[in-house]
Structure 1
């Protein structure tokens, strides 16, 4: 007979729920991506990006030309070759002084975009925490199920050995021995299948934790337990309206569109800009290969030394522009922005309606699952008591193997159902925490 047993590898890492959450938050790929997006939004949230500060540019132009006047139309025009060189560095400043408060509106919009990016990160964090909690407790559930199957297997093994001894001394028939052997083999099969379920649950947990070794096993230190609380629907609704991360993000999206409308309306105002600059021009003309025609038809050579010129230019200009008509583009842009704002308001109402439904369902589900857990817990206690009594009766010969096996199976079924119902309560409670925005506050440490 092959004995089935689950052995814990030496040196397995202990893992609590809080440790699992911290590991998941540190390693999760989606959270890393959203954190980088938050950094981009933070970089963009500046007055410079909004357009408050001037733009200063430095330019450097260098020109070279060679002109060969092979044949001129005028007898007095410079003939032969002329070489010109120039170097022109310049600095220009462009500054929008007023554009209908668009700069301020753009800065507020950038602030909301940063908040929206943070809201996206919070949604990913909340979803990740919820998945890790349920994944961790799923692994604990499968482990405790495994313990129940182990108890059943141990009891079947003891019965089989007990019946085998009775058969050897002639006080038990062969059919009893075959029955107990069949029960032992059935329980062995159930135990092996449950061991696979446990390992797969831990693998799923490793994926949630972004653990490279998906077969890594742990000593899960948290038990499958939950503090059962009483929730008032009105309190839950108030928390949802104030703290739900999805709703917060939607409100931010509304504010962004409010600023979009204000930015479009700013185009109706005049724009005042300031432009200033300085340029320095150095030019050089080489006329050594050129000739100058004279009145008598002869020509004289150009000067041997190049001619140099230096020019400095300063300027400062103000420009006031006002769009009188552009085919209605400004009005259409404002109208489209208002439509988009209205669409976002509709989306907000749709989201609220969906969240209110989800909260009502989650609250009812939590209440029902709590009641079912209490029933299954009471049933488990009753079957455990019945199992202890039946064990004595079986040993005394008061009941037969068939009846005792029925009691065994009832106890196993009740234990499995009690564990599942407890996990269901945890699932519902975590859903309520996710909907009311408490999951980040509870599990994320600053």
Structure 2
């Protein structure tokens, strides 16, 4: 049977080869996405709990739990008593008897076997249901893995987004420092004003404050990410600073993959099948139950009082039992109706799940397409903003534009960089959601 551990290994290998985000030449302390995923799959508490719950479902899927196998039991006992007894017989029959501290010992041992031969085929249905529950447990474990992978990927690129925004602010602060240097030089030469210098310093302070806030946001995001990987929240690490995007996702392919491989849909179908089996199990109680039994018993009694001083018996017993409920207060009928209602609920839940997932696919795909468009647009805007700042800085040196105009060019650049980073992050989030909805996030169909 395909084990949970094997499944994890497959996921790790598929993600490493499929996502391909480990870059040669990275700094030694850089945490690649593939490494983060391995740590998460190995250490995340939710995945470990899901593993254990899946193992419980696997253990329950046995012939013995379904009722196929016989039940064999053995017992042995020995008891001893010390009693005073006085016996008075009818007149003239036997002399009266009085015993003090009479010891009696009883020893018994036995072996018994009971085996149900027929129970309305309920044991077959139960075994099938336990196997379905085992498969459902595997799907629920995979769902936990998918959710954890999604959180890891999105959390990782959120840190990338925050780090790139921090870099953009650092570049802006560097321009502000250059602006102060130019303003000081102009003031010393008599061509600048105190106002321009003070404004440049105030703007640098504003940039420094924004840097502090961004550094705090980045630190908080790393703490949350470390907790997701179940490691020390203060562990320091760097991330790659690019957000690769798959720009070739087709809606029809995603929809087909979703209908066949989505883990939630697969689990809902299994829940419906389990509900159908539960109806059959209850209906089987209407049929008679036939069982055979056999056993061996041994008894020995030793008595210090009474007529029998010693008695010993041993032997085998066997038989067959057939039983059927003639009337049980209509409880079986009630339970059948309840099981059929539960089945109807599972059918409705499946339809609802299908509609919800379809709606999520439509929404996420539209977000994905729009985000890709924004990435292209904002990439062009960033190029224009970078050129504008370069020109503005040169003109500021020459004194042809004011410090306010240079500051406005800086703001435009920061805004363009942040919009591009945000668009790339939104595209990656939508892409990750689409992979999860189509059952491709773990690299294989969940229904297999």
Shared fold (TM-score, shorter chain, > 0.5): yes
Question: Equivalent residue for 2:56?
Answer: 40
- SS in structure 2 opposite 1:370? helix
Question: Equivalent residue for 1:5?
Answer: none
In the TM superposition, what whole-angstrom CA distance separates every residue of 1:355-414 from its partner, at most 9, and x where no partner exists? 111111111111122212221111111111222222222223332222122111111110
In the TM superposition, what whole-angstrom CA distance separates every residue of 1:207-239 from its partner, at most 9, and x where no partner exists? 211222x1222121362232222422x322221
In the TM superposition, what whole-angstrom CA distance separates every residue of 1:301-341 from its partner, at most 9, and x where no partner exists? x8xxx933321120111112222322222222222211111
Question: Equivalent residue for 2:188?
Answer: 168
In the TM superposition, what whole-angstrom CA distance separates every residue of 1:42-82 from its partner, at most 9, and x where no partner exists? 11111011111111111113243456443535344673235
1:421 paired to 2:440:
no
1:15 paired to 2:31:
yes
Question: Equivalent residue for 2:388?
Answer: 386
Question: Equivalent residue for 2:133?
Answer: 113
For residues 334 and 425 of structure 2, the distance between their equivalents in structure 1, rounded to whole angstroms, comes to 56
Residue 16 (structure 1) shift: 0.5
1:194 paired to 2:196:
no
- SS in structure 2 opposite 1:425? helix
Indicate conservation of the 8 Å contact 2:54/2:137, yes or no.
yes
Question: Equivalent residue for 1:125?
Answer: 145
TM-score (norm 2): 0.88
Question: Equivalent residue for 1:101?
Answer: 121
For residues 222 and 240 of structure 1, the distance between their equivalents in structure 2, rounded to whole angstroms, comes to 31
Equivalent residue in structure 2 for 1:61, among 71, 77, 83: 77
In the TM superposition, what whole-angstrom CA distance separates every residue of 1:168-220 from its partner, at most 9, and x where no partner exists? 232322222112212222212211221111111111211211222x1222121
For residues 130 and 98 of structure 1, the distance between their equivalents in structure 2, rounded to whole angstroms, comes to 49
For residues 34 and 72 of structure 1, the distance between their equivalents in structure 2, rounded to whole angstroms, comes to 73
Task: In structure 2, list runs of 5 or more residues that go unmatched.
Answer: 1-26
Question: Equivalent residue for 2:296?
Answer: 278
Question: Equivalent residue for 1:219?
Answer: 238
For residues 55 and 430 of structure 2, the distance between their equivalents in structure 1, rounded to whole angstroms, comes to 34
Equivalent residue in structure 2 for 1:79, among 87, 93, 97: 97
For residues 209 and 163 of structure 1, the distance between their equivalents in structure 2, rounded to whole angstroms, comes to 49
Q: How does 1:290-329 map to 2 (within 5 A)?
A: 307-329=309-331
Equivalent residue in structure 1 for 2:340, among 338, 341, 351: 338
Structure 1 residues 341 and 334: alpha-carbon distance in aligned structure 2, compared to 1, 3 A threshold = same
Higher Rg of the two aligned structures: 1
1:397 paired to 2:389:
no
Equivalent residue in structure 2 for 1:204, among 224, 229, 239: 224
The total of aligned residue pairs comes to 416
Indicate conservation of the 8 Å contact 1:12/1:218, yes or no.
no
Question: Equivalent residue for 2:22?
Answer: none
- SS in structure 1 opposite 2:181? helix
For residues 413 and 357 of structure 1, the distance between their equivalents in structure 2, rounded to whole angstroms, comes to 32
Question: Equivalent residue for 2:432?
Answer: 430
For residues 406 and 142 of structure 1, the distance between their equivalents in structure 2, rounded to whole angstroms, comes to 23
TM-score (norm 1): 0.88
Quote the RMSD (CA, aligned, Å).
2.1
For residues 191 and 38 of structure 1, the distance between their equivalents in structure 2, rounded to whole angstroms, comes to 46
Structure 1 residues 88 and 312: alpha-carbon distance in aligned structure 2, compared to 1, 3 A threshold = same
Indicate conservation of the 8 Å contact 2:162/2:217, yes or no.
yes
Question: Equivalent residue for 1:92?
Answer: 112
For residues 74 and 57 of structure 1, the distance between their equivalents in structure 2, rounded to whole angstroms, comes to 46
